[in-house]
Amino acid sequence: MYTKIIYVIIDCLAVADILITFRATGKIREAYGKWLRNTLAAGVLAIIANIFIALSVNETMAALSYCFYFASIDWIIFFLWGFCMMYTEHERMLKRLSVPLALVMCGDSLSILMNFMFGHHFRIYEKSLFTDIIFYQTAFRPAYYVHLAIDYITLLTALFFILYRIKKSYSIYRAKYVIMLSVLVFVILLNVAYMALSLVLDASVIFYAVAGTLIYFCIKVFVPRNLMMISIGHAVDDMNEGLILFDISNHCIYANAFAKNRFGINEEFFSFDVEPAASVLRSLKSDGEPYGTVNYTRETDRAEHYRIRYNKLSEKKGRPIGSYFLIEDMTETYSYLKEINEAKINADRANQAKSAFLASMSHEIRTPLNSVLGLNELILRSTEDPQLREYAEGIRDSGDALLGLINDILDFSKIEASRMDIINEDYSPHDLLRDCYSYFEQMAHAKDLYITVVCNEDLPAGLNGDRQHIRQVLFNIISNAIKYTNEGGVTIRMSCGPVEHKAVETVFVVSDTGIGIAKEDLSLLFDPFRRVNEKQTANIQGTGLGLAITKELVSLMRGRIQVDSTPGKGSTFRIIIPQSVTDPSPAGRFNLRKPQVIEEYHERFKAPTASVLVVDDVPMNLKVIVGLLRPTLVRVTQATGGEEAVELCARHKYDVVLLDHRMPHKDGVETFREIRAEGMNTDTPVIMLTANAISGAAEEYKKEGFADYLTKPVLGADLEKSLLRFIPKEKII
């Protein structure tokens, strides 16, 4: 009796184990997982039937339990066969044989279930081992042998395909098939022992649970983990970094191929006293950093640089379990950094050369241009002869064009150096549009083109923004529009969005009826030093910087620019720039004020008692300054060099000093320092009047202590405006 009880308890534990394994197999996403779950389910039914056999109290109950038991064995074998076929990657064979085999199993199971109804081919008899204890067994009849033949042939088929896969596979993949084969063989041996020994109870069913657990462990744990370890081992050996592992006693337990090849490390003899560990630990201890560096020079005189990290390993609870070195080859990085550093030095030299070139170009061109435009302004002031004025205005226009080209290059240099400042001021949108019209009216009429200005009446009357740069942006766009238009004209529109929080987005639209821009050239339109459609525009002057500067200026003012163009029909530029609103009242209807053909000159002030020293090594520039200041009645003293200026400042007190920068022997800055150090003009405002207009020049001069900064060619109005700030008020009449 106790034998049956123990047997039933073990069977129940086996069922519980199979159910746990069955639930775990739900994590298997591959197709063979379904076959394995079906096998485990059939195993549960077989064990339950076996429990009923042990608990049978009469022949009918035993016969019925035996029938379900042997029928369950059929389906255990079928699903196990399908699992083996799928797991050994014989899907095509599975598809061909699964249906015929299923039909055979159905026939066999049906004959088994009909056993106790027709002839008792699985005869039940009792055998008493102990008093009042009855066991039920199966007699060996023909139908029983047919059942055994079907099941064992099916198992042998599965074993054959497993053996075939073992022969074709290798390494870790062979191990998983060997485990599978061992499980199946062990189940078969248990069944053979049960039959050979005529045991009263089939103990082999207990191993169904063990077999299921082993198969699951093989699929989900053993094979993946070993495959992972092998893969990690290969990956660690293949990586371009060294790895050295130590246990808690600081014994080296692993070194990858990189560490062995580069440093000749041997796990048996390597320790913290051996290089590179010793140098790194000393470095880490002194620097307090998690990284150290080691430099090697091998027999080939090739310097090698390594960045090494030392770290301790801990378990989940924080207890130390070992440590490791991670060695990174920085030789190539050092080489790249050296190349980058050399490239940076070369770039800095090139940038310095460019700055020197721009400064030299600015000085060399602006110096004679200052004389040309200055003398030309004196001619325009002093003559009313129409023919002579026409010639002088031609000189002025050509000089302005040349000055515009120089300014474009210098502006681009300022933008590249991030030294372009945004200076906001209050202005009237109507005045801005009138400036645009008056400046380009004659240029448009010279080509028989119309120029039209349209302004939204709801535009705020007062705005605050960088008026000068907005003006420069519009001038660049309008100038290009006129240049590239032969018929029709140019239309300038200004509008705005809604006013929100005293701010508004102003919208400028400049459209023309010119040659247009091809679609493929639109992306190149704002590239510096590039002109689209070179063949068609070869006769048009320009540096190719105007639009590049325009885009950068718009971006600096937090705006955006859009272009729409059709070849042969014209182009439309849309510029949107956010502005502050100073007067929200509507500007009203735009009235165009025609500029006068002849502007009469009027000096800003007169100061006959004021004394000004002008220092320049070019006599013609001195003559221009003297001529421009003559109407102000200011007393002008001339000096042709720095040494002469220092001597004059030592003997005489001046109200203002105008000082050129680039002079031989002693330049303007050196002269300024000596004037500030001694003499009678240590506190006199000194204005730098120079042809140096490169980016950052104004800031450098003011940092040096100059009161103001004027660039050549200087306009008479600008010169008078600057002097008016520094000449004592009591001397101005």
Q: Which residue has the higher pLDDT, 302 or 81?
A: 81
Same domain, 84 and 200: yes
Residue 601 is given by DSSP the state P
The answer to whether position 369 is within a domain reads no
Residue 572: pLDDT band by 50, 70, 90 thresholds?
Answer: very high
Choice among 8-17, 339-348, 358-367 with the minimum mean pLDDT: 358-367
- What b-and-e string marks burial along 122-142, b requiring 16 or more CB atoms within 10 Å of the CB? bbbeeeeeeeeebbbbbeeee
Q: Which tokens go with 103?
A: 């039909």
Same domain, 639 and 725: yes
The answer to whether position 596 is within a domain reads no
Same domain, 218 and 245: no
Residues in CB range of 281: below 8 A, 6 or more apart? 272, 292, 310
Same domain, 517 and 651: no
Residue 494 CA to residue 436 CA, distance in Å, equals: 12
The answer to whether position 339 is within a domain reads no
Same domain, 442 and 511: yes
Residue 599 is given by DSSP the state P
Same domain, 301 and 202: no
Average the pLDDT over 158-183 and give the result. 80
Residue 500 is given by DSSP the state B
The per-residue pLDDT for range 654-703, each reduced to its tens digit, is: 999 999 988 888 889 999 999 998 889 999 999 998 876 665 677 788 88
Same domain, 570 and 656: no
Task: Specify the pLDDT at position 686.
Answer: 94
β-bridge mates for residue 304, sequence order: 296
E strand intervals along 98-231: 124-127, 135-138
Which residue, of 195, 211, 230, is where some domain finishes? 230
Q: How many domains does the chain have?
A: 4
pLDDT of 536 above 60:
no
The per-residue pLDDT for range 372-388, each reduced to its tens digit, is: 777 777 777 777 777 78
The answer to whether position 418 is within a domain reads no
Task: Specify the pLDDT at position 318.
Answer: 82
The per-residue pLDDT for range 394-423, each reduced to its tens digit, is: 677 667 667 666 666 666 566 555 556 677
The per-residue pLDDT for range 309-347, each reduced to its tens digit, is: 778 888 888 888 888 878 888 878 888 888 888 888 887
Q: What is the rounded average pLDDT for all residues in the chain?
A: 79
> What's the one-letter identity of residue 526?
F
The per-residue pLDDT for range 498-529, each reduced to its tens digit, is: 888 888 999 999 999 988 888 877 777 776 55
Choice among 74-83, 205-214, 271-280, 298-307 with the minimum mean pLDDT: 271-280
pLDDT of 129 above 50:
no
Q: Which residue has the higher pLDDT, 722 or 141?
A: 722
Same domain, 324 and 462: no
The answer to whether position 253 is within a domain reads yes
Q: What are phi and psi of 716, to 5 degrees?
A: -60, -40
CA distances from 87 to 31, 35, 165 (A): 9, 10, 10
The answer to whether position 357 is within a domain reads no
The per-residue pLDDT for range 450-505, each reduced to its tens digit, is: 999 999 888 998 999 988 788 888 988 898 889 889 899 999 999 988 888 888 99
Residues above pLDDT 90, as percent of the chain: 16
% helix, strand, coil for the chain, step of 5: 55, 20, 30
Q: What are phi and psi of 497, to 5 degrees?
A: -90, -170
Query: For the chain, how far is it from start to end, CA to CA, in angstroms?
Result: 137
The answer to whether position 219 is within a domain reads yes
Same domain, 576 and 617: no
Task: Specify the pLDDT at position 133.
Answer: 47
Same domain, 432 and 297: no
Q: Which residue has the higher pLDDT, 105 or 299?
A: 105
- Domain encompassing residue 659: 611-731
Q: What is the CATH number of the domain that holds 638?
A: 3.40.50.2300
Which residue, of 569, 586, 603, is where some domain finishes? 586
Same domain, 555 and 703: no
The answer to whether position 8 is within a domain reads yes
pLDDT of 186 above 70:
yes
Q: What is the CATH number of the domain that holds 265?
A: 3.30.450.20
pTM of this prediction exceeds 0.85: no
Q: Biggest alpha carbon distance in the chain?
A: 152
Element (H, E) at 677: helix 668-677
Task: Specify the pLDDT at position 611.
Answer: 94
Q: What is the CATH number of the domain that holds 492?
A: 3.30.565.10
Same domain, 579 and 666: no
Task: Specify the pLDDT at position 131.
Answer: 40
Q: Which residue has the higher pLDDT, 366 or 677?
A: 677
Task: Specify the pLDDT at position 687.
Answer: 93
Which residue, of 296, 329, 362, is where some domain finishes? 329
Residues above pLDDT 70, as percent of the chain: 78
pLDDT of 538 above 70:
no
Instruction: Decide if 491 contacts 510 (C-beta within 8 A).
Output: yes
pLDDT of 118 above 70:
no
Nearest CA to 661 out of 363, 358, 357 is that of 363
Q: What is the CATH number of the domain that holds 23?
A: 1.20.1070.10
pLDDT of 537 above 60:
no
